[in-house]
Amino acid sequence: MLKSERPIGIFDSGLGGLTVLKAVRALMPAERLVYFGDTARVPYGAKSKSAVVSFSREIADFLFAKKIKFLIVACNTASSLALEEIREISPVPVLGVITPGVGAALELAPRGGKILVTGTAATVASRAYTRALQAARRDVRVTEKACPLFVPLVEEGWCSKPLAGLVAREYLAAFRGRKIDALILGCTHYPLLKKLIARVMGPRVKIVDSALATARAARLELSRRGLLNPGRSRGECEFYVSDAPERFSSLARKLLGLKTGEVGVKRF
């Protein structure tokens, strides 16, 4: 098998990374994809750095064994806390979700603009987005807001329930009148709440979907390295989780319209 025909590996703490998978699928339909959702240990946002690093290394090793050609860490918490540790052990290029999201936000924000980053408690505490944004443009003003209940709402499939609206307003209503130019969805679960978040923030605020930005960055990097799959047929997808495969498959279909087929289970 040619290296370009090998699959792309994608992992997340749960089903949020499926937003990245779906975006990758739309941009690069010929690519074979292997996805792992750590459903037994979701959410990562409340875990320690050492735990997130340990979990991420275990999952990366599992995906390396699948002979992948490229790894997407489709989890903002893991990208914030474990990306360098993953790269140290990786035999293939590794892409996180923070740099693509930062680039997309800076394209939208004017000089001296204000950017609001929403994320898990661990991502916000790491200040990874603030450092990356201000390293690229020192004039940008950044506020980070932890929204820890968003992940369990998505994992429960409650994106359209009234409770999701109440939680979103509690977290974000105070920012509505503060002239925010761009809001980064700093967790790959959050695009599933994108319409709700947009309603709370109002039409002026531009929403940065880190899943779409990551898919675009992945295509660019694969092209640069000569790793794009040259095939014309639609690539296959494999799905693995660490627990509750039936529930994962049901929510993937309900929330994203993805048909996973049989989902494998890998416990650590």
Active centre residues (catalytic): 75, 187
> Is the distance from CB of 13 to CB of 37 less than 8 angstroms?
yes
Task: Count the Cβ atoms, other than its own, within 10 Å of residue 179.
Answer: 11
- Between the two ends of the chain, the Cα-to-Cα distance in Å is 29
Task: Count the Cβ atoms, other than its own, within 10 Å of residue 172.
Answer: 20
Widest pairwise Cα distance in the chain:
55
Q: State how far the Cα of 37 lies from the Cα of 93, in Å rounded to an integer.
A: 20
Amino acid type, 229: N
CA atoms within 13 A on the CB side of 211: 24
CA–CA distances in Å: residue 147 to residues 85, 164, 244: 26, 12, 25
